[in-house]
Amino acid sequence: MNDSVKKNRVHLKIHGRVQGVYYRASTVQEAQNLGLTGWVMNCPDGSVETVAEGAQQKLEELIAWCRQGPTGARVTSVDVGWEKPENNFCSFSIRR
């Protein structure tokens, strides 16, 4: 299997004005469009956290999207952590 289709996993923490602006719903839509699996959720500190699995290139596209977010969001920073894929997701969803 070549590296462009090898499954990877990324853990993101998005900071800024990212709650109350449809960030989670927009992230689900973007991830589904990219063919990724995983989850997104609001954190008590006002940030948004997401874990996604899929092809490296598609994950990079999601990271780039997360740095901007939906209209109304003001992203100040994105923490990116690469992890070993666990292959335990069948879709991309909002965690509450």
Residues involved in catalysis = 24, 42
Establish how many alpha carbons lie within 13 A of residue 62's alpha carbon, considering only the half-sphere containing its beta carbon.
37
Question: In the numeric block, which tokens belong to residue 86?
Answer: 């666990």
Query: In 1-96, at which residue ranges do the beta strands (DSSP E only) sit?
Result: 7-17, 37-42, 48-55, 74-83, 92-94
Rounded Cα gap, residues 74 and 4, in angstroms: 31
Residue found by looking up tokens 């609001």 in the block: 42
